[in-house]
A and B are shown apart, each in its own frame.
Chain A
Amino acid sequence: MKVYKRQKIQVYVVLSILLVVVMFPVYYAFVMATLSDKDSYSFPPKFLPSFHLIQNMREAWKSAKMGRLMFNSAFIAIVVALAKIVFSILAAFAFTYFGDFKGKYLFFSLILITHMLPLPVRLLPTYDLMKAFKWVNTYYALTVPFFASATGTLLFRQLFLTVPGSLADAARIDGAGPMRFLWHVLLPLSKTNMGALLLIEFNYIWNEYLWPLIITTTPEMRVVQIGIKMLLASEAQAADWNVIMAGTIMAMLPPLVMLLIFQKTFMEGFSMKEEK
């Protein structure tokens, strides 16, 4: 639709004001991460960045063992995201190319039902289960319980449904088995969805807090989100907000980079889904 010049300027102005309000906390967090110890608790606060970012990051890195935490978070986020993609592609394929096999609708409901069971609903028994498996404070506990994905299964199922069935017939007549069809025909079509799912699940696991808090007990197994809590606990008395913010910025960069890389894929995968 045509937008007139005056309206354009109004939109720019309003959006810019809103943007400043929304972005200010992050800007200030960044400024804080660059301040010296002394400036970090000056009142009135400093609003312009200084030159101590690297130093503060180093301090946070050391005091919270950020290197280890970043590794843990990245490792579990990638493992879970990949597992979810594989598990949900397999499940979606089963639901779309094998007719009405026995128990199909039961299994489909089971997968959907996971949406109704967020962690707090099953918190204590899941923890007990980890104890029984001797998985407390291990990578298993941080990854395996998250491997199923209703979102992913639905996303791929919907995509596979749009693939003409005649393609599969042709493949069968040519003597290609189902797994070859999945590998050579469906997978190449799924790239957008995979990108979207990778972004969603990586962020989800990277940002998870409650489960790692209760299931990890030693500093080596902690994840980055819990590292922030540790930084706050150890630095807050001294009001070393500069160090805390340096750590916070490190913790929020990876998902942000993921978002920027996959933003387009994400929106595409998503709008495709909206059309339904």
Chain B
Amino acid sequence: MHAQSRFPNKLLPYILLSPSIVVIAVFFIIPTVKSIYQSFFRVSPFGDRRIFVGFDNFVRLFNSPAYVQSLLRTLIFATAVVLIGLSFCMIVAVLLNQRIRGMSVFRTFFIWTYAISPAIAGTIWALMFNPATGPVVYLVKLLSGKSINWMNDGRLALAIVIVAAVWKMLGYNVIFYLAGLQAIPTELLEAASIDGANGIKRFFRVTFPLLSPTTFFLLIMNMLYAFFEVFGLIDIMTKGGPGNATEVLVYKLYKDGFISIDIGFASAQSVVLFVFVTVLTILQFRYTQQKVFYG
């Protein structure tokens, strides 16, 4: 920030800030504090009676097999989304970064899933795996003779939800990897090339380490995405089913808060998510210089 004041106005900066600060106070800070507050109460479904229960909601939460399973499932889901998504996108971006004619056309095609919503990605993949007539189901039947049905196969359902979630993030990840690659000085790669490093060696010795800030940033963003942004995808594709096979934390929160209306219990879930996102954010600020992120 400019250390000295360029304009002597005393009141003006507060006026300029007030629109943002009012919105943040009313719609972010107060509701979050209330989430934390409510997590210590048992509230009747209509919200008219509340009893202070201390940490009881959290005890209930971590003693609930359904919640613990959902937590584990979310971790598996998020890990898969991050690992598959980032490795695939890094390779694609490295290929797209070659100085070859026609690359800009390829680039446009690879980044445009950025514009697709999780709900639409879910719809399209539900079509691909539609048990009766889906093309992937057809392909599997053609190759192996087996009929697959993810509507009654929990593991398959989770796998397909992962595929859809990764697919939706391709554009975002490729955009950031391309920007990261463009920041790598070509002299470095040329020097490595003169030293006799072939393409694969160059990738592992030069490109991969120099991309690590981007990778770390994308790791955080993809984790946040896998935890918070996939609600629409799950709601469209599986509604958490079959059984609870794809019920990730944010879906469980919605169900407990808006369908079963267990407010204290759902608030405790919000607080757990808050702790999680706080840890990720602290990591982000501590280990990267890059403080701007899109989301």
Contact = CB atoms under 8 A, between A and B. Distances in A.
A25 to B, nearest CB: 5
Q: Is the interface of A mostly helix, strand, loop or mixed?
A: helix
Q: Is the interface of B mostly helix, strand, loop or mixed?
A: helix
B186 interface: yes
Interface in A73-113: 86-88, 90-91, 93-101, 103-104, 107, 110-113
A241 B14 contact: no
B253 A270 contact: no
B6 A11 contact: no
Interface in B164-196: 167, 170, 175, 178-180, 182-183, 186, 189-190, 193
Contacts of A245: 123-124, 127
Interface stretch (A51-59, A61-69, A199-207): A199-207
Interface residues of A, number: 113
B133 A42 contact: yes
B123 A41 contact: no
Contact of B23 (A1, A101, A145, A157): A145
A95 B1 contact: yes
Given A1-B190, A110-B29, A121-B32, A97 B108 contact: no
Interface in A218-273: 225, 228-229, 232, 239, 241, 244-245, 248, 251-252, 255-256, 258-260, 263, 267, 270-271, 273
A40 B292 CA distance: 45
Interface stretch (B48-56, B57-65, B78-86, B272-280): B272-280
A151 B294 contact: yes
B277 A228 contact: no
A259 B47 CA distance: 44
11 contacts: A90-B17, A118-B228, A121-B271, A122-B27, A125-B30, A204-B295, A244-B123, A245-B124, A259-B112, A270-B294, A273-B292
Interface of A: 1, 3, 7-8, 11-12, 14-15, 18-19, 22-23, 25-26, 28-29, 32, 40-45, 47, 86-88, 90-91, 93-101, 103-104, 107, 110-126, 128-129, 144-145, 147-149, 151, 153-155, 157-158, 161, 165, 168-169, 172, 177-178, 181, 200, 203-204, 206-210, 213-214, 225, 228-229, 232, 239, 241, 244-245, 248, 251-252, 255-256, 258-260, 263, 267, 270-271, 273-276
